């Protein structure tokens, strides 16, 4: 659980509306986050980030020079900024628009209109990310074998970063369910982390295969997904997934599944 002391967090707010910026800054100040700088455009914020790296970035979706999706992509492509926590504030709800942000490893998406509690949860996620990742104290964590299945290379890189921070060293990657089946045929895994929407073979088909045809039918499967169709998710649960976490997700969810895998 993150501390609720936000006074040490340096936040860059990217918001073209001065009225909305004032609202966000005021809410941050109420929560104790007093080190907030406001930028009107993405390029202005990126320029300053490269000069003085922030602890977190809060951005609107629609900016005068590029959308928030491109801003977070530019950050993830920069080795100095790729792990800076990113929070999106938007009234946008279309999955196809929000998905690039979810796949980028954003720590939170806040939907307008939002509450103080929602902002606090987002800041808690920031603290979880910027605090030094603690390795699991279980003796066998280095021997765990984890299969990471996601068609987004950006998402895989972010999840790998979290796993390595927890002490996991044996991480195998697959870009879709079909590639995962090949890996499962050759290697015994302690945990499978998979996305839902993937080409060739999606997450539901992969779960069904593991539970009915694989020689590893009992392996824990954690689905990390931006899928919001409840019918599809219900089908995944019926197929035998161990747990489902929405993207963006809290890193504690992965940690909990690792501990369960370690303890059988």
Q: Which of 78, 103, 130 is where one domain is finished? A: 130
Q: Are 149 and 122 found together in one domain?
A: no
Residues 194, 232, single domain; the answer is yes
- In this predicted structure, what is the pLDDT of residue 135? 60
Same domain, 145 and 126: no
Structure tokens at 132: 């030094």
Residues 195 and 147 in one domain: yes
Owning domain of residue 204: 141-262
C-alpha 262/C-alpha 192 separation (Å) is 13
In a domain, 117, yes or no: yes
Judgement on whether residues 184 and 209 belong to the same structural domain of the protein:
yes
Q: Tens-of-pLDDT digits for all 264 residues of the chain? A: 444 578 889 999 999 999 999 999 999 999 999 999 999 999 999 999 999 999 999 999 999 999 999 999 999 999 999 989 999 999 988 878 888 888 887 888 999 989 999 999 899 888 877 765 556 665 577 788 999 999 988 889 888 988 888 888 899 999 999 999 999 999 999 999 999 889 999 999 999 999 999 999 999 999 888 777 777 778 878 888 888 887 777 777 777 777 776 676
Is 1 a domain residue?
A: no
Which residues of 145-234 form beta strands (DSSP E)? Answer: 145-149, 170-174, 191-194, 221-225
Question: Does one domain contain both 253 and 151?
Answer: yes
Place of tokens 């606090």: 120
Within 5-122, strands assigned E span: 10-14, 35-39, 56-60, 86-90, 108-111
With vertex at residue 69, the alpha carbon angle to CA 64 and CA 72, rounded to the nearest 5 degrees, is 100
Task: Based on the fold, state whether residues 100 and 184 are members of the same structural domain.
Answer: no
In a domain, 14, yes or no: yes
The Cα 211–Cα 239 span in angstroms is 7
Looking at the fold, whether 60 and 82 belong to one and the same domain comes out as yes
Out of 72, 95, 130, pick the residue that ends a domain: 130
What's the confidence (pLDDT) of residue 72?
93
Q: Tell me whether residue 202 is in a domain.
A: yes
pLDDT of residue 44: 97
CATH number of the domain that residue 84 is part of: 3.40.50.2300
- Please report whether residue 247 resides in a domain: yes
Number of domains in the chain: 2
Decide which of 80, 103, 130 is a domain's last residue.
Answer: 130
Instruction: Flag whether 136 is in a domain.
Output: no
Q: What would the two tokens of residue 61 be?
A: 């979706």
| 229 is a domain residue | yes
* In a shared domain, residues 119 and 145: no
Does residue 70 form part of some domain?
A: yes
Report the pLDDT value the prediction gives residue 1, as an integer from 0 to 100.
Answer: 40
Q: Same structural domain for residues 25 and 77? A: yes
Assess whether 197 and 165 both reside in one domain: yes
């Amino acid at each position: 659980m993150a501390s609720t002391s936000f006074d040490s967090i340096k936040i860059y707010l990217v918001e073209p509306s001065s009225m909305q910026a004032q609202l966000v800054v005021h809410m941050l100040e109420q929560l104790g986050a007093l080190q907030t700088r406001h930028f009107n455009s993405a390029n202005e914020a990126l320029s300053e980030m490269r000069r003085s790296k922030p602890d977190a970035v809060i951005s609107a979706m629609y900016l005068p020079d590029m959308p928030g999706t491109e801003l977070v992509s530019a950050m993830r492509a920069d080795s100095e900024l790729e792990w800076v926590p990113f929070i999106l504030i938007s009234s946008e709800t279309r999955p196809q628009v929000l998905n690039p942000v979810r796949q980028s490893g954003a720590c939170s998406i806040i939907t307008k209109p939002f509450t103080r509690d929602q902002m606090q949860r987002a800041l808690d996620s920031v603290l979880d990310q910027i605090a030094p990742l603690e390795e699991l104290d279980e003796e066998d964590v280095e021997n765990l074998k984890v299969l990471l299945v996601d068609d987004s290379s950006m998402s895989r890189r972010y999840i790998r970063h979290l796993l390595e921070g927890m002490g996991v060293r044996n991480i195998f990657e697959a870009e879709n369910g079909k590639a995962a089946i090949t890996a499962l045929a050759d290697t015994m895994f302690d945990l499978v982390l998979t996305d839902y929407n993937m080409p060739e073979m999606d997450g539901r088909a992969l779960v069904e295969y593991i539970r009915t045809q694989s020689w590893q039918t009992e392996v824990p499967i954690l689905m990390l997904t931006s899928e919001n169709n409840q019918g599809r998710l219900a089908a995944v649960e019926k197929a035998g997934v161990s747990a489902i976490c929405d993207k963006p997700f809290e890193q504690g969810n992965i940690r909990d599944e690792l501990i369960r895998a370690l303890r059988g």
